[in-house]
Structure 1
Amino acid sequence: MTTILVTGGTGTLGRLVTERLRADGHEVRVLSRHAEPYAVDLREGGPGLDRAVDGVDTIVHCATSQTGGDEKAAGHLIAAARRAGVGHLVYISIVGVDRVPFGYYRTKLAVERQIEQSGLGWTVLRATQFHDLLVTVLGSLARLPVMPLPAGVRDQPVEVAEVADRLAELALAAPAGRTADMGGPEARTLESLARAYLRATGRRRAVVNVPLWGRAYRAFRSGGHLAPRQAVGKGTFEDYLARRFGDGRRGGQD
Structure 2
Amino acid sequence: MTTILVTGGTGTLGRLVTERLREDGHEVRVLSRHTQPYAVDLREGGPGLDAAVAGVDTIVHCASSPRGGDEQAAAHLIAAARRAGVGHLVYISIVGVDRVPFGYYKSKLAVEKLVEESGLSWTVLRTTQFHDLLVQLFQALSKSPVVPLPAGVRDQPIEVTEVAGRLAELAVGAPAGRVEDMGGPEARSLESLARAYLKAAGRRRAMVNVPLWGKAYGAFRGGGHLTPERAVGKGTFEEYLAGRFGRGGRD
TM range (shorter): over 0.9
Q: Distance in 2 between matches of 1:67 and 1:156?
A: 23
TM-score w.r.t. structure 2 length? Answer: 0.99
Which residue in 1 is equivalent to 2:201?
201
Q: Give CA deviations for 1:194-242 in whole Å, capped at 9, x if unaligned.
A: 0000000110000100000000000000000001000000000000000
In the alignment, structure 1 residue 147 sits paired with structure 2 residue 144: no
Which residue in 2 is equivalent to 1:162?
162
Q: Provide runs of 4+ in structure 1 moved above 3 Å.
A: none
Per the TM alignment, residue 67 of structure 1 is displaced from its structure 2 partner at its CA by: 1.1
Per the TM alignment, residue 250 of structure 1 is displaced from its structure 2 partner at its CA by: 3.9
Q: Distance in 2 between matches of 1:31 and 1:3?
A: 13
Which residue in 2 is equivalent to 1:241?
241
Per the TM alignment, residue 249 of structure 1 is displaced from its structure 2 partner at its CA by: 3.8
Per the TM alignment, residue 66 of structure 1 is displaced from its structure 2 partner at its CA by: 1.3
Which residue in 1 is equivalent to 2:55?
55
Which residue in 2 is equivalent to 1:102?
102
Equivalent residues in 2 for 1:74-113 (5 A)? 74-113=74-113
Q: Give the secondary-structure state (helix, strand or coil) at the position aligned to 2:68.
A: coil
Which residue in 2 is equivalent to 1:5?
5
Q: Distance in 2 between matches of 1:249 and 1:14?
A: 28
Which residue in 2 is equivalent to 1:212?
212
Q: Distance in 1 between matches of 2:137 and 2:189?
A: 14
TM-score w.r.t. structure 1 length? Answer: 0.98
Letter in 1 for 2:120: L
Which residue in 2 is equivalent to 1:46?
46
Give unpaired runs (5+ residues) of structure 2.
none
Q: Distance in 1 between matches of 2:153 and 2:118?
A: 36
Which residue in 2 is equivalent to 1:172?
172
Identical pairs, percent: 80
Q: Distance in 1 between matches of 2:134 and 2:205?
A: 17
Per the TM alignment, residue 137 of structure 1 is displaced from its structure 2 partner at its CA by: 0.4
Which residue in 2 is equivalent to 1:26?
26
Q: Distance in 2 between matches of 1:49 and 1:32?
A: 10
Q: Distance in 2 between matches of 1:157 and 1:144?
A: 24
Q: Distance in 1 between matches of 2:170 and 2:93?
A: 14
